[in-house]
Structure 1
Amino acid sequence: MATETGKRAGVIGLGAMGFGMASSLVRAGFEVSGFDPSPAAQDRAHEAGIAPLATPEDVVAAAEVIVLSLPTAAHVEGVISAARDAGLLGADTAAKVIIDTSTSEAEVSRKLSAALAEEGHGFLDAPVSGGPAGAAAGQLSVMLGGDEKWVTAAMPALEAMAAKILHVGPSGAGNVAKLVNNMLVASHMVTTLEALRLAEASGVGAEDALRVINSATGRSAISEIHYPNWVLPRSFDSGFSTGLMRKDVRLARELAQSVGCAMPVADLVADLWAEETSGLKDADDFMHMGDPTVDRLSQKEDK
């Protein structure tokens, strides 16, 4: 099928987020290919009109815009390295732009961006917020770092996947903004849990306390969205794991150390989120941290 320039997209990583973004690209008229190591994910992609390919390199070869939805910066580096070794991102190949939606590391993004720019290709750090539901609906928020030239080139794909696109600054800026955001989310979960436990211990139910909080200055996305949708109904299925939250808090603290920024609250929050303190496994949905029926905050003092 012939497509207009810029309309061939690829998605590497077809989990809950990647599949949703790929599906949004299909709806927007892109010809979409994809790769995931899971055969089940590949089959689901095929059923959704996404062409499953055998390797990440095949996706890079087929697409003009490549979206990465991968667990860590090391995975991102591995994909880019393999594509470069295969001659797919050289100076003699047509320009491609890579949109890395992973919550990654600013220094890694800067390094990859500089290396690819020398060969005439673009790399944007573009971590997202909105979860699997936002990805599936094309309603994500994207925090962009990178050169304006490549932001413009990637904009049609970004607009297909996101409702809010915030170009924060040069390469790495998107990663920094996302880590700062997720550090706050981890902190808000702990402080909201603490507030609700105090309310309940003092005779005011969690739902009533939240009605007040969400009408006053103590509100946050955690109190307004997460608690009503996933904590109080006890579904605990937001689609974001405790392990990923721990990773993001760790990366935020490492970033703080690298720039000499004291983070005493983040340090405490990291201790509270640790498995030995919270009792949560990495695979548990991070909504479990907010369960007001479980006292996860006093266990640290009991040690």
Structure 2
Amino acid sequence: MNRLQEKIMKKNIAVVGLGNMGGRIAKRLLQLGHEVGVYDTNKEVLKTFESLGAKPYETLALLGAVHNIILTVLPNADIVRQVVLGTEGLSTGMRPGTVLIEMTTSIPEVTQEIAAALSRQDVMMIDAPVSGGVQKAENGTLTIMVGGNEQTVERAKPILDLIGTQIIHVGRIGAGHTAKALNNLITATTLAITSEALALGVKMGVDAQKLLDVVNSGSGRSAASETKFPQQVLSRAFKPGFSMALMAKDVGIAVDMAHSVNSPVWVSSAVQKLWQYGVDGGRGDMDHTAIALTIEDMAEIEIKPGLI
């Protein structure tokens, strides 16, 4: 990318949705010297970003008319559809040649629907959900799974490189959202089964830390056992990040995808029920590692170091 292209790009980025991930992505772009347009329904958040140097917009249509590289980081597929295609949405202002980088954990079919509608305006779109959590969003080391045609992905790549170190083009439009839902299904499953195993171990008289050491030295290790349990569960921190409700939503997306193509979901269906049970029990707003607390309630034991 030459200097002229870099100068143009720096003036044309906007972020819609300034929550846990979107807010951190916007802050990183600002820290790297980009002029970032922002939109969020929370006016106080917009004021905060204005104080950081961002340009806030009162309407999506105006933001869509001004910026030709727009990142959307929103709670769910229905909100993405409304934000982009609604009567006062981004599409009412978007110009031909604009690139929409959709980073929500969304539903592949909805993504394909939006992309088809935008293509009639000569607006390009890729889906680019992320993995790695808020810390990696802050330091620009996210993993980004991308769906879309090669030309649009290449055009978006200079932006993606600012916020991620692993940029994986997984297939056509919607493939990024498919990969993200399946990744989160695996995460939800390993976290749940690790919680069950450690709760059982404690009930059988095994020290939780010692059992975790065994798991992490053997074939049972996972990101859940190596990172989430030491940092969140055994420490009893449960520091808020990605919520249980969002994880339950993502597991539901994966199970729905499986049903749509008649793929087996014996394990996935059980995992979905467990996560929904945890959310229904009042922990939806807690960090997703709090699924361990739901397991503890049922086991009537606490997963912590020290023999009972």
Normalized against structure 2, the TM-score is what? 0.89
1:63 aligns with 2:67: yes
1:10 to 6, 10, 14: 14
1:12 maps to amino acid: V
**Sequence identity percentage:** 35
The answer as to whether partners of 2:83 and 2:90 remain within 8 angstroms in 1 is no
- The two structures, once aligned, show a CA RMSD in angstroms of 2.2
Aligned pairs for 1:127-138 (under 5 A) are 127-138=129-140
User: Partner of 2:127 in structure 1?
Assistant: 125
User: Partner of 1:43 in structure 2?
Assistant: 47
CA displacement at 1:107 relative to structure 2: 0.7
2:27 to 23, 26, 29: 23
CA displacement at 1:215 relative to structure 2: 2.0
1:282 maps to amino acid: G
User: Partner of 2:93 in structure 1?
Assistant: 88
Deviations 1:213-260 (A, max 9, x none): 112211111111111112222121241111111111111111001001
Distance in 1 of aligned mates of 2:175 and 2:57: 32
More displaced stretch, 10-19 vs 42-51: 42-51
CA displacement at 1:85 relative to structure 2: 7.8
Distance in 2 of aligned mates of 1:223 and 1:238: 18
Aligned pairs for 1:1-303 (under 5 A) are 4-7=7-10, 8-82=12-86, 87-89=92-94, 93-275=95-277, 279-291=281-293, 294-296=296-298
Distance in 1 of aligned mates of 2:240 and 2:215: 21
Question: Can you give the 5+ residue segments of structure 2 that lack an aligned partner in the other structure?
Answer: 301-308
CA displacement at 1:24 relative to structure 2: 1.6
2:154 maps to amino acid: T
CA displacement at 1:188 relative to structure 2: 0.7
CA displacement at 1:70 relative to structure 2: 0.5
The answer as to whether partners of 1:272 and 1:297 remain within 8 angstroms in 2 is no
More displaced stretch, 269-278 vs 36-45: 269-278
Count how many residue pairs are aligned between Structure 1 and Structure 2: 294
More displaced stretch, 283-292 vs 178-187: 283-292
The answer as to whether partners of 1:10 and 1:62 remain within 8 angstroms in 2 is no
Alpha carbons of structure 1 residues 296 and 103: separation in structure 2 relative to 1, 3 Å = farther
Give the 3-state SS of the residue equivalent to 1:214 in structure 2. Answer: helix
Alpha carbons of structure 1 residues 202 and 126: separation in structure 2 relative to 1, 3 Å = same
Give the 3-state SS of the residue equivalent to 1:167 in structure 2. Answer: strand
Distance in 2 of aligned mates of 1:32 and 1:148: 25
CA displacement at 1:293 relative to structure 2: 7.9
Question: Can you give the 5+ residue segments of structure 1 that lack an aligned partner in the other structure?
Answer: 299-303
Normalized against structure 1, the TM-score is what? 0.90
Give the 3-state SS of the residue equivalent to 1:235 in structure 2. Answer: coil
CA displacement at 1:281 relative to structure 2: 3.0
